[in-house]
């Protein structure tokens, strides 16, 4: 996976928190989720294109996602 693809995935999850999540999650959950996504985003920025860690990060993002991203 390339960095740009991983960043787009994380940004989509951040965007979903901003729009639909408030009715589905408590505000504390939204804040915790947003914080975790920003940590993962920083890890993606520190990685190199094609680095296997990018795939691992995206798997974690989807595995921990309480809201489906459309």
Give percent of the chain with pLDDT exceeding 90: 44
pLDDT of residue 29: 81
- Quick one: how far is CA 12 from the chain centroid? 7
Q: How far apart are CA 61 and CA 35, in angstroms?
A: 12
Residue-wise pLDDT tens digits, 10-41? 999 888 887 655 566 677 888 888 899 999 99
Query: Using DSSP, how many helices (H) and how many strands (E) does the chain show?
Result: 4, 0
Model confidence, pTM: 0.79
| Chain mean pLDDT for the chain | 83
Contact 65, 13 (CB under 8 A): yes
Write down the residue that tokens 């995935």 correspond to.
Answer: 9
Mean pLDDT computed over 53-64: 89
Reply yes or no on whether the pLDDT at 67 is more than 70: no
């Amino acid at each position: 996976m390339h960095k740009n693809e991983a960043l787009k995935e994380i940004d989509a999850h951040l965007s979903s928190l901003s729009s639909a999540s408030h009715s589905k999650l408590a505000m504390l959950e939204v804040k915790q989720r947003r914080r975790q996504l920003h940590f993962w985003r920083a890890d993606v920025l520190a990685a190199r294109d094609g680095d296997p860690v990018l795939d691992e990060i995206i798997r974690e993002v989807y595995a921990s996602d309480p809201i489906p991203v459309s």
